[in-house]
């Protein structure tokens, strides 16, 4: 499981359809028109059975550039560093300017950001549950600081646009 921190994106009113990273149609103004293009494409594409084409609404920001994806364990540590609730929910949102302030404080705060070894087993210390086999992957030294720097870019853009930052 993972958590993605992202900038609030607004729909542009257009749609695109893709098949295995290849555009089928872009910039159409209705979902139905994009679906029609997908149907026509599927009749001629062997890849569609394996990769299943999709239709998606276009948004006004580069979602790949303004998002940070981390594991649930790392999300808890980031939320802790940002002084945000880090319980089992691991989802929320905050105004971009307020989130930017949290990121700046976290970046300016001394913390133990040492490497963590891989852990495997049941009932691992610090895990909020017990029972199933758990694998907690290793993380390099400086990982939290690196992710905070990435979140800084997300928060800066959110504040500039007057948008929120969400995570789930």
Same domain, yes or no: 87 and 45 = no
Structural domain contains residue 37 = yes
Same domain, yes or no: 85 and 36 = no
Q: Is 81 exposed, middle or buried (0-12, 13-18, 19+ CB in 10 A)?
A: buried
> What per-residue confidence (pLDDT) applies to 124?
56
> What per-residue confidence (pLDDT) applies to 52?
85
Same domain, yes or no: 72 and 54 = no
Same domain, yes or no: 134 and 83 = yes
> What per-residue confidence (pLDDT) applies to 134?
56
> What per-residue confidence (pLDDT) applies to 7?
95
Same domain, yes or no: 88 and 113 = yes
Q: Find the domain containing 69 and state its range.
A: 64-167
Cβ of 165: how many Cβ atoms within 10 Å?
28
> What per-residue confidence (pLDDT) applies to 128?
57
Number of domains observed in the structure of the chain: 2
Question: Consecutive 10-residue runs of the chain (168 residues): their mean pLDDT?
Answer: 94 93 91 93 84 91 93 92 90 97 96 73 57 66 94 98 97
> What per-residue confidence (pLDDT) applies to 113?
82
DSSP E strand stretches across 72-116: 92-95
Same domain, yes or no: 134 and 53 = no
């Amino acid at each position: 499981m993972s958590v993605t921190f992202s900038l609030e994106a607004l729909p542009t009113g257009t749609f695109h359809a893709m098949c295995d990273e290849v555009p089928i149609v872009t910039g159409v103004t209705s979902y139905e028109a994009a679906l029609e293009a997908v149907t026509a494409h599927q009749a001629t594409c062997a890849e569609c059975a394996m990769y299943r084409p999709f239709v998606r609404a276009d948004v006004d920001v580069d979602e790949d550039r303004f998002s940070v994806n981390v594991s649930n364990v790392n999300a808890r540590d980031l939320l802790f560093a940002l002084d945000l609730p880090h319980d089992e929910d691991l989802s929320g949102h905050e105004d971009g300017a307020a989130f930017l302030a949290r990121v700046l404080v976290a970046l300016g705060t001394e913390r133990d950001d040492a490497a963590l070894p891989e852990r495997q087993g049941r009932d691992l210390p610090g895990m909020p549950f017990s029972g199933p086999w758990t694998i907690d992957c290793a993380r390099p030294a400086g990982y939290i600081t690196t992710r905070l720097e990435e979140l800084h870019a997300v928060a800066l853009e959110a504040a500039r646009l007057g948008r929120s930052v969400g995570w789930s």
